[in-house]
Structure 1
Amino acid sequence: MVLHQPRIVVIGAGILGSAITYNLAIRGADVLLLDEGPKPASGVTGRAFGWINVINGTPGDTSYALWREAIAEYQHLKAALPEAVALARAGSLLWRATSQQTEQLADLHHRAGEDVELLKGSVVAEWEPRLRRAPEYAVFSRNDLALDPAQLAGTFVTTAVAAGASVRFDGKVAAIETTNGRVAGIRVSDDTLKADVVVVAAGSGINVLAGGLGIDTSVATSPALLLRYACRVPVINHILRGPRLEVRQASDNTLLVAKSFVADGAENGPHVIGERTLEVMRDELNLPDEVMLTSAEVGDRPIFADGLPRLGFLPQVDGLYVAAGHPGIILAPLIGRLTAEEILDGRRTALIPCPR
């Protein structure tokens, strides 16, 4: 018999915090989700491209094995919570600067056991008729998914609430309270909420919260730019990634482009890059004239020096748990389950390093 059910507070309603809350709630945990934004995915999650894949990883890397586990977890999620991926589009087409490089990419992932296929340019042109110049070859990654990260986070939260979780938005956490070396609660404005376990899934905000306790979690940030373009009609059928462009189309026909970002002056600001990218898109794709840039948002992705996420209790404070890392959208269902197993069952995973 369970004599004491711990009160768990999850800080951050991005994709990781939402997935963790969902997994805790469906197992009957007493969990409260907090976020300073007005709704789930108000931060970096809402500025994510939403490409679920392993094709962008490198076989043999530790992160590649982790991504494969994460993709398998999406299959479990599809069965358990089908509405979470109901609007996702399947499949991506990738090509490199030369045909030889594209063939090497296909061979690399085929030998790793992935479901990829090398397509001739004539097939690519048939599948994507708006491509102005189809590559000689492209790699078709069949099991990739393109989904809306904000919609996924929202589904996690809605389902968690239905299972008994509590949520509180528009509440900035001022500090994590401790007593005798263990978590006692959190301070939100003038209110202190009691907690036995605090899960910090606030992305780069982890630095501020853990830093208030004198803990350096070594979380850094990697800025990425998400560009959105209004479009009224279907233009592409898959995620397309070539040497000049990485683009997908959402269910409402919005075109989304992902780019790395370095802030180095107004001439390379987000909107300027967005307009230049539209010129590239028009060169690569036969676009309707009315396609226009609607937003250019930078998201600071939380990363660690080795490229791997971190998951687990911090040794400095009993009951303080950290979940962070990139790519959060790919890893979220897996991290959500692993976190619930560790907190509720004491079962520690070997897949993801512990924070220090």
Structure 2
Amino acid sequence: MQNLSVNVIGAGITGAMIAYKLVRQGFKVTLFDANHCVGGDVSRTSFGWIGHIANDPIKHPDLFPLLTDGMQRYKALNAEFDGTLFDAEGGAIVWRATPEETQAVIDRQRQAGTRTRAMSKQELQQHLPALANPPELAAHSEEDVSWYPPKVIEKLVDVLIRLGGDVVLNSSMSALDVTDHHCNGIRMNDEVFASDFTVLATGGGNGSLIAPYEPKHGLYTSPSTYIELSAELPDFTPVLQTPDIEMRSLGLGNFALAENPPETDDPAELERIGAQIVQAVKDTFTNAGQVELLSIHVGQRPASHLIEPLARPINGFSNAFVAGSHPGVILAPLIAEKICTQITEQALSRAVV
């Protein structure tokens, strides 16, 4: 594989994961991104929750196994890094509007084979003593973890560079360079960066890049709101999902929250969401003190009409691939494995010929 080159376009979590796995397989990998740093687009505004407890295995029977598979893949990946890729501790605590609804979450999770358990009000108060009105019952998963995607991406890219890969930033791809359905590489303005294989992991940009070859590609973007704020609260390790907030600690009194996107493009709508979240945090915790909104962003997550994660050749090509899906962070290892397997098979068939 050492003589075969791969251009991976997009240095988000999916692109970085693909580049990492390919360079470990012996390919010569170059990772491109239009931003000035890796993980600087949608991945930077991802909530970074790797878990299953927030998803209903009955309502999402096809997606749920992919989520649990993704969790196991991340545990294996973390072991490759001797446990330094992310903190495997934390878990997640979830409750719904009524104890009956929360119990239903616990029951469905257990039926799906997870180790979700019931947490009493007293135990919950021990975990989160600052809660203003703790519920009588919560669901707890020790298996869920959360982390800041750009830090994980940086560690993956560090290995890529250490193993001889290259990273090219501030470089926006304009098109594939194609001859008779063979991809010669990528085109950036008037310059062509040649490679044996090309992988498009550009998130929401995948659709426009493959549209000349797949007009009915079925790719779209799904918006989500990512918020960071500071509060005079003790840091806590579990992800917290209540009827009002989805929140995790970033450390040092800073917290990340996920929220539904605004219904309009009016900036006032985004300001309203920010103010609403600040108030929800104050209502959730006793003595939250000064709660300050630090940032609020709407990210455009890549998505497909298919449940299966997108990891396949572009229509009509054998050496150009498209990768990415929603939920992208948790499915990134699976997507990377699928892409790596297909490229390796193509490389071996070339060697046989």
Q: Give the structure-1-normalised TM-score.
A: 0.91
- Structure-1 residue corresponding to 2:170: 170
Deviation for aligned residue 1:5: 3.3
- Alpha-carbon distance in 1 for matches of 2:130, 2:79: 34
**Residue identity matched to 1:17:** G
Unaligned runs of 5+ in 2: 348-353
Give the alignment of 1:10-49 within 5 angstroms. 10-49=8-47
Deviating runs (4+, > 6 A) in structure 1?
none
Q: Is the 8 A contact 1:11 1:17 kept in 2?
A: yes
**8 Å CA contact 1:171, 1:189 repeated in 2:** no
* 2:350 aligned partner: none
Alpha-carbon deviations, 1:273-297, whole Å to 9, x = none? 1121101110111254233001001
Aligned counterparts of 2:100 and 2:241: Cα–Cα separation in 1? 16
One-letter code aligned to 2:155: T
The range that moved more, 83-92 or 290-299, is: 83-92
Deviation at 1:178, TM superposition (A): 0.6
Listed as ranges, the matches of 1:143-222 within 5 Å are 143-213=143-213, 215-222=215-222
Distance in 2 separating the partners of 1:336 and 1:214:
22
- Per-residue CA deviation, residues 112-162 of structure 1 (Å, 9 max, x unaligned), is 110111011111111100110001100001110010011111111111111
The letter for the 2-side match of 1:43 is: D
Q: Tell me by how many angstroms 1:303 deviates.
A: 1.1
Same amino acid, percent of matched pairs = 26
Amino acid in structure 1 at the alignment position of 2:138: A
Which shows bigger deviation, 182-191 or 303-312? 303-312
Aligned length: 345
Determine the C-alpha separation between the residues in 2 that align with 1:327 and 1:169.
25
1:7 maps to which of 5, 8, 11: 5
Shift in alpha-carbon separation, 1:21–1:73, aligned structure 2, 3 A: same
Partner of 1:237, secondary structure, is: coil
- Tell me what 2:319 maps to: 319
Q: Which amino acid aligns with 1:129?
A: P
Residue in 2 aligned with 1:55? 53
What's 1:109 paired with?
A: 109
Match of 1:99 in 2: 99
User: What root-mean-square deviation, in Å, do the aligned CA atoms of Structure 1 and Structure 2 show?
Assistant: 1.9
Q: Deviations over 1:77-98 (max 9, x none)?
A: 1110246533454211000111
CA positional deviation for 1:212: 3.9
Please name the residue that 1:310 is paired with.
310
What's 1:68 paired with?
68
Q: Name the SS of the counterpart of 2:143 in structure 1.
A: strand
| Pair 1:338–1:306, CA change in 2 (3 A) | closer
Q: Would you say the 8 A contact 1:206–1:217 is kept in 2?
A: no
1:54 deviates by 1.2
After superposition, residues 296-307 of structure 1 pair within 5 angstroms as 296-307=296-307
Deviation at 1:338, TM superposition (A): 2.6
Provide structure 1 residue ranges, at least 5 long, that are not aligned to the other structure: 348-356
Q: Which amino acid aligns with 1:128?
A: L
Structure 1 contact 235–287 (Cα < 8 Å) conserved: no
Preserved CA contact (<8 Å) 2:248 2:255: yes
Asked whether the equivalents of residues 214 and 315 of structure 2 are also in contact (C-alpha less than 8 Å), the reply is: no
Q: 1:44 to 1:84 in 2, by over 3 A?
A: farther
Give the 3 Å change call, closer, same or farther, for CA 164–265 of structure 1 in structure 2: closer
User: Is the 1:231–1:290 Cα contact (8 Å) retained in structure 2?
Assistant: yes
Report the alpha carbon displacement of residue 204 of structure 1 after superposing the two structures with TM. 1.0
Aligned counterpart, 1:345? 345
1:193 is displaced (CA, Å) by: 0.7
Listed one character per residue, the Cα deviations across residues 315-349 of structure 1 (whole Å, up to 9, x for unaligned) are 322311011101111111222223212211359xx
- Aligned pairs for 1:236-255 within 5 A: 236-255=236-255
Report what 1:137 is aligned to. 137
Distance 1:84 1:177 in 2: 39
